[in-house]
Amino acid sequence: MTMPDAPVQVPDQEALMRLGETVRQRLAGRPGVYKVPVEPVELFAIGDFLDSAECARLCAMIDDVARPSTLHETNYTSDFRTSYSGDLDPHDPFVDNISKRIDDLLGVPSDIGEAIQGQRYLPGQQFKPHNDWFYTSESYWSEEEARGGQRSWTAMAYLNAVEAGGATAFTTLGIQIDPQPGALLLWNNALPDGRPNEATLHAGTPVERGAKYVITKWYRTRTWR
Ligand SMILES: O=C(O)CCC(=O)C(=O)O
Ligand SMILES: [Fe+2]
């Protein structure tokens, strides 16, 4: 007897679906949380998530840890992500507090969150259009799968006002978000059914004048290690 074919599943699909639902419900109608009206991506913005002293302190920390950014995909050209980045010390109480505030906003367990990464762009630096989710057909996937699996939500906060350039462009959606100090962006990298959402394609457009500082926290589907 032959069994009927199982429905096609993508890695971590059920967990991605569940995390989409959890965060969607948590953010719905929450004061200060603005749902950006775009289809088909769940994108939220929160103004003044960080105060100016926190932003300044994070910028200084980024200056200490920032190194040329690395990428998984070795076949990208060297101008793909030209910013400098580095993980902030998760054991630093100040960093831990901010990290936990983001976890609490999303209502997800802290253990699925990666370490907060800081990033600095100087004039001419950019992060070309990419998805934050992992391509599960690539060789890096087996390692990432063991380190917590697919990425679910992205949280990204702007830490300073950029003199010119540096918007975050969702290139498929056709929208750009200008850096606003202290504002936090959140988006679901998956579709409601748990498949990766291709329309989350986004870029850090080149800074033209001044510098741009951001922190990013990516959430997995399982304990990150
Ligand atoms: O800098 C930006 O606006 C986007 C950053 C980004 O996409 C990332 O760090 O994954
Ligand atoms: Fe990204």
Q: Mean of the pLDDT values across residues 15-37?
A: 97
Task: Report the complex ipTM.
Answer: 0.99
Give the model confidence (pLDDT) of 149-200 as tens digits. 999 999 999 999 999 999 999 999 999 999 999 999 999 999 999 999 999 9
Q: Whose CA is nearest to atom 9 of ligand 1?
A: 216
Give the model confidence (pLDDT) of 31-70 as tens digits. 999 999 999 999 999 999 999 999 999 999 999 998 888 7
Rounded Cα distance, 12 and 14, in Å = 6
Q: What is the DSSP string of 125-191?
A: --EEEE-SS--TTSTTHHHHHHTT-S--EEEEEE-S--SEE--EEETTTTEEE---TT-EEEEESB-
Instruction: Give the nearest ligand 1 atom to 169 CA.
Output: 3
State if residue 134 touches ligand 1 by the CB under 6 angstroms criterion: no
Ligand nearest to the CA of 169: 1
For 36, the 3-state DSSP assignment is: coil
Q: Where do the domains of the chain lie, and which CATH numbers do they carry?
A: 13-218 (2.60.120.620)
Q: How many CA atoms lie within 13 A of 132 on its CB side?
A: 22
Is residue 219 within 8 Å of 106, Cβ to Cβ? yes
Choice from 133, 134, 154, 156 to test ligand 1 binding pocket (greatest atom count within 8 A of CB): 156
Q: At what angle do helices 52-65 and 93-106 cross, to 10 degrees?
A: 120
- Cα 49 to its chain centre, rounded Å, is 15
What's the pTM? 0.94
